[in-house]
Structure 1
Amino acid sequence: MVRSPALSSTPPLHRTAVLALHYQNDILHPDGKIRVGLSASDPARDRVIAAAAKLIAGARHAALPLIHVRIAFRPDYADLTQNCWIFRKTAELGAVQENTWGASFYEALQPDETREHELVIRHQRTSAFIGTPLEQILMKLGVRHLIVAGVATHSVVEMSVRHAVDLGYEVTVAADACAAADTKIHDASLDSMRLLAEIADVDTALAQLEKHA
């Protein structure tokens, strides 16, 4: 009797993954070209960074897939479709140019690509799914629930959340790890997303992981 060759072990599937969006110098650092409207002396800025760091540490502690999404363009912006104000303003400011300090991750929120299932994806639109392998990565890992956070709330966070929900994912927004230049816009975006996603703080989002196991 001929035995079939042993099958390779299947990698474990993860119900939940974390998306960390745009934690980059030009967007988050007080010397960045875009920023989120929070000065170095503003306690709110420190709170956002601390919450983002807690989310990243929590994902690592729980061995969750952790996907860092960064936005970056060529120095001449030939790869930037300037069809709306936010992209035209990016080029005008000379922001998030590839291979510059501004496009790099904020020091306290750096990815660790030596970890299994901790990845970095570059994109060039407002949704983290457009033009990236994000959906294929999540599908391969068996992910059905996303914890999403980043800057700015009303841009990459909301657009990625809406895209994820349309693709069938359950979504939790870690609100205290998100920010916008105007707190009213931040709050309005969170209210808008309540129709689609659970809005929680980082502690609650991490504590509820068992619900999605």
Structure 2
Amino acid sequence: MTSALLLMDFQAGIAGRPGFEPAVDAAERALTAARDAGMPIVFVRVAFRLGCPEIAESNLSFSAAKERGDDAMSLDAPATQIIDRLSPRDDEPIVVKKRISAFAGSDLEVLLRGLGADSLVLGGISTSGVVLSTVRLAADLDFRLTVLADACADPDAEVHHVLTEKVFPRQALVTSVADWAAAL
């Protein structure tokens, strides 16, 4: 079994918001543990071409970004870059997605198959966004899943709790970074 750590949406415009510091701290510990274990690491971020032509007006999640017309969500914008504390190394791929799920509009599945990964360890912001959408699709793609609950965060603490305690356990092992790292 080959596991890969996916750190999702730990980009300045998302993970840099107040309140997410504990999840960033946990993600940093997970990143260190994965590197020490020689585990493949994949970073996922959301970004668009200039002008956001990938965003339809009907997309409630992203249409406001397109309407602003400021290109704050463009590939090179500071808001879409992985935060400095989790800076990827040159050999750690960065996947750019176009929707909520890490798989939507990206080459993530092809990359994971190339790495030989059949098991995914997930951390991300937000729990009700990228983590939920990625867990659902990854389970449908027959990946074994682990969710690092403390390396995930949501603006709504109750939603985070319900997802990590009641929803995710149906498709994933839900654990802490410390417990996961101790088992490596």
Q: TM-score, with normalisation over the residues of structure 2?
A: 0.90
1:8-53 deviation digits (Å, cap 9, x = unpaired)? xxxxxx61100010100110113xxxxxxxx2xx5xx332111010
Match of 1:166 in 2: 140
Match of 1:206 in 2: 181
CA distance in 1, matches of 2:58, 2:173: 31
Secondary structure in 2 matching 1:48: helix
Match of 1:101 in 2: 78
Contact 2:98–2:106 (8 Å) recurs in 1? no
Secondary structure in 1 matching 2:63: helix
CA distance in 2, matches of 1:69, 1:99: 15
- 2:14 partner letter: I
CA distance in 1, matches of 2:14, 2:43: 14
Secondary structure in 1 matching 2:150: helix
Q: Report % sequence identity.
A: 30
Q: Runs ≥4 in structure 1, deviation > 3 angstroms? A: 89-95
| Aligned residue pair count | 181
- 1:27 partner letter: I
- 2:74 partner letter: Q
Between Structure 1 and Structure 2, the one with more strand by share is: 2
Q: How far off its partner does 1:185 sit?
A: 1.6
Within 5 A, what are the aligned runs for 1:98-177?
98-113=75-90, 115=91, 118-177=92-151
CA distance in 1, matches of 2:57, 2:3: 34
Greater C-alpha radius of gyration: 1
Secondary structure in 1 matching 2:153: coil
Q: How far off its partner does 1:147 sit?
A: 0.3
1:93-119 deviation digits (Å, cap 9, x = unpaired)? 654222111111111111112x3xx21
> What 5-or-longer segments of structure 2 have no aligned partner?
none
CA distance in 1, matches of 2:64, 2:179: 35
- 1:67 partner letter: V
CA distance in 1, matches of 2:57, 2:44: 20
1:112-144 deviation digits (Å, cap 9, x = unpaired)? 12x3xx211101011111232221222222211
